[in-house]
Structure 1
Amino acid sequence: MTVARTVELEGHIIDSGTMGACFGAVMDMGGEFEVEEFDVGRHKHAETYCRMRVMADTEEELRAILHELNQQGATVADPRDATLEAAPGDGIVPVDFYSTTNHPTAVRVDGEWHDVEGVEMDCALVVDRADGVRVRTKVLNAIEAGDLVVTGETGIRVDPPERPRNGGGGSFGFMQGGVSSERPSASLIEEIADEMREVNAEDGTVLAVCGPAIVHSGGRDALAAIVKSGYVDAISAGNGFAVHDLERDLYGTSLGVDTESLEHPRKGHKHHIYTISEIARLGGIEEAVAEGVVDEGVMYECVRNDVPYVLAGSIRDDGPLPDTITDSIEAQDAIREQAQEADLVLMLSTLLHSVAVGNCLPSTTKTVCVDINPATVTQLLDRGSAQAIGMVTDIGAFIPMLADELLEASYET
């Protein structure tokens, strides 16, 4: 005996590969399908509609198939309201809770569809009826006993970004950017700069996720100039980036190496820990800027221009700086708040912090990933952003070129 449900697909499902992905998922997971209705859009702006019956041997197998199809944007035909179940305890979700994607999502409650607030992958969906109906994502550790959690696949609609038929969208079109070290950097950087100008003009938010390699490779001054100019609205980084940026100001070194002469000064290997000590003695980065001890660099420009920053700590950190958030849950919440406000994210040569930020981003947020290691760029893009481009290049070359384009000044290293 087989069980079956009917699902619907609508949009540019042929061009974007969605229909093929759904057919493949059903067969790969041991099910079968029968196309009941298929209406192909006949011009470039028209959408395609597909209605198909999905069959499996057991209810459990069918639920697994429907979950996969849901992630691809398929919706169960004749939808019912989502199933809600109260969380049994703090930090505990019902067994069959719905785990979110990073795509725009809607949930059917009381016969109406409600857009999910704070779209983020790997979260639960919680319905709040305190003041009307609100549906929002919650990380598992934030679940409270009694929260109404969405379970199963019923009454959930996912809307993955699609590739338009006309191939539009510029560098940020659906998977148009890809990853390549062969890409003409100058033209791509020009497009990124144009996007930053547009976000700036619309009072949007550009978030830069920064790794220590920016300082080591000589891109620090150019990034500081970009921050000063107002084209970066927030910084997300680790303790290491801030320490080496400050070390460069106090001692002229990064990781104990003179970034100008590439010489190793005596006791240079201790400069980073001396830097942490000096900043801690003053009470923090803002106090060091106020005292005139720090008078240039990225962190200096953040303080002087009221650009908020989140420094998330790790188990490897020396010190750390007083400004570094050492509680990992608190750091996640701070990163999440930044990510949800971002319109454009620059992931600059830091895998771990970029992954952390990427996990909090909706798939529609435009993202630029830059790293000398192609595996790093590929891993970042593969985490689910449909509006992402990648550049395999030296970060010390990329940032000065971006500053040149934005500020019409030379920041060659």
Structure 2
Amino acid sequence: MRTSISQTIQNPKEFKKQLLQWAQQFREVVFLDSNDYHREYNTYDAVLAVDALTAIQTDYNNVFEDLNTYQQITKDWIFGYLSYDLKNDTEKLESNNFDGLDFPDLFFFQPKKLFLIKDNQLEIAYLNMCDDEIDIDLKEIENLELIITNDTQQVVINQRISKESYIDKVGDMLAHIHRGDIYEANFCMEFYAEEAIVNPLETYEKLNTISEPPFATYFKNHQHYLLSASPERYIKKEGSKIISQPIKGTARRSADVIEDEAIKQELVINEKERSENIMIVDLVRNDLSRTAAKGSVNVEELCAVYSFKQVHHLISTITSQVAEGHTPVDVIKSTFPMGSMTGAPKISAMEIIEKLEETKRGLYSGAVGYFTPNGDFDFNVVIRSILYNSSNKYVSFSVGSAITSKSDPEKEYEECLLKAKAMLKTLEV
């Protein structure tokens, strides 16, 4: 049982910074921040989980069965990630591309210390608590002087796939589409640096300030770090209701208000961008139907435009009701990897992606999130994210775009560079 207390905090924005700085002492950290971006279905403004009591870390073999067992046994809050390569557990697929990061395929932990923030209300829930431990920690957090670090060294970013090679590979992808092998596929490329000295907290705060997304994440598992400015929710469970909110369709922002509004309106009616989104909506509907009560799959919002600091996006919302007999992990297994990062048909798209991409995706285009004690969950999509292995000093981020029959390889390349802008600005000190 957890010991819980609730109290009011005077300055939630400053408290979140103090909380994350205080968390650096722990081996395991998950910090999730909505940046006050108010979206339907957001339960918390921010969550911090630290210090594992128990944990599961494994490769993709029988991974969903292992996760299901762990979630059912703990029946507690658990936090962690699902890497893209869990696809190999559910289908006859492989991940043989280069991997400079060396993250486990899956990692979840049961935190001893948990902080939940909504508006100016703070709930703290501790396991195996010593006398006055919450009070001691709270005083330490609130008295913490924020330290502004600046010890990230100059990072020289390399591009795994050249522009010329990217355009050739998109041409190969288009050939598959024209042959009817697939309708759409998300094709990604890596940017990386070797022998990189990066301060993870400083890097996260800089990236988050640039983007202020609704699904920001700071993740640490010993020497493995994820610093994410994700705008996208993968999947959420509230009681028996499942919510998926794929992003497909992107346009740049402009500092000129009139031009920015024109760009936004053009995105709304852009045939190519809308077709990307609608194809993935159909895929998500099909995935959700595997665990849904009959007739319960519903598209609540189709191709709605949402604006973020860097870009405009088209986002759709698809919901369902879970049929009896399915566990929370069953729902994730039947929908993973998310359609927005794969393509349609999903299995064929993943096979072609593996052949054309040059880097193992790993945690990129996977998901980070949590399960609650009653089996609810919420997971983001790991995009617009920097990954760092402090042991081998390898830093990486990837970007991609959806390739359809209407794709222009040059424009897809430009979209990738647009998505890379915040990470490049963050790392190139």
Indicate whether the TM-score tops 0.5: no
- In which range does the TM-score fall when normalised by the shorter chain? under 0.3
Q: Which has the higher strand share?
A: 2
Instruction: Select the structure with the greater relative contact order (CA < 8 A; seq sep ≥ 6).
Output: 2
How does the TM-score come out when normalised to structure 2?
A: 0.24
How does the TM-score come out when normalised to structure 1?
A: 0.24
